[in-house]
C-alpha cells in the first residue's frame, strides 16, 4: 500500500457522488477552513476553493464518477489524488458515517500522509480500456448462455454436445426441436442460441472498432506482447491497456500483486490465519493472464508437458494459476528490458528458481540443526 506524503498548504477532501459532493478543506494545522455541500459542477467547486488555490491538493475516494473531476483538475493544474477504496478503513470502519464525516476524514488522511493512493489512469486511453472491459463483459455473458444450454441438456439426460458451442457454425448444426421434447425447454434453448448469435455480432463489431481505432502509444510494447504464443491482437490490447506502463511497477512482485497472481498469507505469532487480498488488484488483468496461459498451453508442446508433470503435485486448477503467474513475470521482465518473448528463457528461469529454492531450503535446515 502506497500513501500520499507530499506536503501542501491546504488539503481538500471530497466525498464525491453522482450529483453532489461534500467538500472539506484543512490547513497545515488541521483547522477546518471550508465544510460545504456542493453540486457536481466544477465551476462551483473552483469558486468555493478560490481562496485556497495556492498550494491546494484534492483527494477523492475511488468510485465510479471520478473521471470528470480528475480531468478538470489536470486542466487547472490542481494536484489530484485518488484514494484506494479497499484500503481506506479509517472511513469505512467508523461508528458514524455521513458525507461530512467522510470528507473530513479524507482531508485528514491527506494531511497526515496516510492517504492510500490508487492509480489515476490517464484520459485518452481510459475510454478504450473501458470499451475493452465492456467487450469482456459481453464475452462472459455469452459463456453464461453456453453454460445454461449445457445445463438444459444435462437436466434432460441427453448426450453431450459433440462440438464447442462457442463457434456459430457448431451451434447452427444443433436441431433444437428434435433434441428437446418439452415446448418450454425448446423455447429456453432457442432463446439462448438467439442471444449467443446476437452477442457474436456485437462482439465482432466491438473488436473491429478496437482494431481500427485503438490508440497504441507504444507500438513496440504491443508487438512484444504479440510475440507470446497464443496472444492475439485483442488480448494484446487488453494486456497493454490494463497494465498501461509497466515502468510504474518498481519490482516484479508489485506487478504480480496488481494482477492478483500472488497469495497473501495472514500470519500472527508464527501462525497462519488464512489468506487475504483477493479483491485487491486488477481483476481484468488477472483474467487476461489466465486467458494467455490457456492459449499458451495450446501453442506450446513444452508447456503441455510441464502441465502434465505439475498436475500430479498441484492439481489442474492451481497449475493454470502458476503458469499465469510465470507468464506475468516473463511479461514484466521482457517489457522492462524491451525484448521479445523467449520461451526458452521462461523454462530456464523456472529451473533456476527451483534450484535456488531447493538451495535455500537446505540452508534453512542446516541452520536449524546448528541452532
Which string of DSSP letters, residue by residue, matches 213-263? Answer: H---S-HHHHHHHHTSTT--HHHHHHHHHHH--GGG-SSHHHHHHHTT-S-
pLDDT tens for each residue of the chain, 371 residues long = 789 999 999 999 999 999 999 999 999 999 999 999 999 999 999 999 999 999 999 999 998 899 999 999 999 999 999 999 888 877 777 788 899 999 999 999 999 999 999 999 999 889 999 999 999 999 999 999 999 999 999 999 999 888 889 889 988 888 888 899 899 999 999 999 999 999 999 999 999 999 888 877 678 899 999 999 999 999 999 999 999 889 899 999 999 999 999 887 788 887 877 777 777 889 999 999 999 999 999 989 999 999 999 988 888 888 999 999 999 999 999 999 999 999 888 888 654 444 434 434 444 444 444 44
Angle between helix 316-336 and helix 301-314 axes, rounded to 10 deg: 130
Instruction: Say what the pTM is.
Output: 0.84
Give the pLDDT score at 362: 44
Give the pLDDT score at 349: 67
Tell me how many degrees the CA angle 303-333-326 measures, rounded to the nearest 5.
30
Continuous segment of H or E residues that includes residue 359: helix 343-370
Q: Which residues contact 281 (CB under 8 A, 6 or more apart)?
A: 257, 258, 259, 260
Give the pLDDT score at 144: 96
In contact, 331 and 346? CB cutoff 8 Å:
no
Cell of 155: 437436466
In contact, 333 and 252? CB cutoff 8 Å:
yes
Closest to 38 (Cα-Cα) out of 47, 28, 50, 51? 47
Give the pLDDT score at 356: 38
Give the pLDDT score at 350: 52
Give the pLDDT score at 357: 40
Neighbouring CB atoms inside 10 A of 245's CB total 13
Cell of 364: 534453512
Rama region for 244: left / alpha / beta (φ>0; ψ in -120 to 50; rest): left
Amino acid at each position: 500500500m502506497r500513501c500520499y506524503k507530499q506536503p501542501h498548504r491546504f488539503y481538500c477532501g471530497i466525498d464525491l457522488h453522482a450529483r453532489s459532493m461534500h467538500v472539506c478543506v484543512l490547513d497545515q494545522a488541521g483547522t477546518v477552513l471550508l465544510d460545504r455541500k456542493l453540486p457536481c459542477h466544477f465551476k462551483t467547486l473552483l469558486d468555493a476553493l478560490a481562496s485556497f488555490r495556492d498550494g491546494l491538493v484534492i483527494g477523492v475516494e475511488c468510485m465510479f464518477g471520478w473521471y470528470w473531476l480528475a480531468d478538470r483538475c489536470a486542466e487547472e493544474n490542481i494536484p489530484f489524488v485518488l484514494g484506494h477504496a479497499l484500503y481506506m478503513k479509517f472511513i469505512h470502519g467508523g461508528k458514524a458515517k455521513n458525507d461530512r464525516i467522510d470528507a473530513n476524514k479524507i482531508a485528514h488522511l491527506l494531511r497526515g500522509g496516510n492517504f492510500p493512493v490508487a492509480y489515476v489512469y490517464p484520459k485518452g486511453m481510459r475510454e478504450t480500456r473501458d470499451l475493452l472491459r465492456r467487450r469482456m463483459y459481453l464475452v462472459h455473458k455469452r459463456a453464461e448462455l453456453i453454460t445454461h444450454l449445457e445445463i438444459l441438456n444435462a437436466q434432460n439426460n441427453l448426450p453431450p454436445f459433440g462440438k464447442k458451442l462457442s463457434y456459430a457454425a457448431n451451434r447452427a448444426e444443433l436441431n433444437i426441436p428434435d433434441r428437446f421434447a418439452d415446448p418450454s425447454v425448446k423455447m429456453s434453448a432457442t432463446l439462448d442460441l438467439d442471444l449467443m448469435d446476437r452477442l457474436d455480432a456485437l462482439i465482432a463489431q466491438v473488436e473491429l472498432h478496437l482494431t481500427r481505432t485503438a490508440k497504441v502509444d507504444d507500438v513496440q510494447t504491443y508487438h512484444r506482447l504479440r510475440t507470446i504464443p497464443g496472444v492475439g491482437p485483442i488480448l494484446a490490447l487488453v494486456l497493454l491497456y490494463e497494465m498501461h506502463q509497466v515502468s510504474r511497477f518498481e519490482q516484479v512482485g508489485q506487478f504480480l500483486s496488481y494482477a492478483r497472481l500472488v497469495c497473501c498469507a495472514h500470519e500472527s505469532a508464527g501462525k497462519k490465519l488464512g489468506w487475504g487480498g483477493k479483491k485487491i488488484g486488477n481483476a481484468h488483468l488477472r483474467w487476461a493472464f489466465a486467458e494467455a496461459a490457456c492459449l499458451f498451453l495450446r501453442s506450446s508442446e513444452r508447456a503441455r508437458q510441464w502441465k502434465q508433470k505439475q498436475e500430479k503435485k498441484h492439481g489442474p486448477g492451481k497449475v493454470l494459476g502458476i503458469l499465469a503467474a510465470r507468464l506475468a513475470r516473463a511479461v514484466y521482465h521482457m517489457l522492462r528490458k524491451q525484448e521479445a518473448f523467449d520461451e526458452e528463457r521462461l523454462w530456464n528461469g523456472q529451473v533456476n528458481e527451483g534450484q535456488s529454492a531447493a538451495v535455500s531450503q537446505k540452508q534453512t535446515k542446516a541452520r536449524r540443526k546448528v541452532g
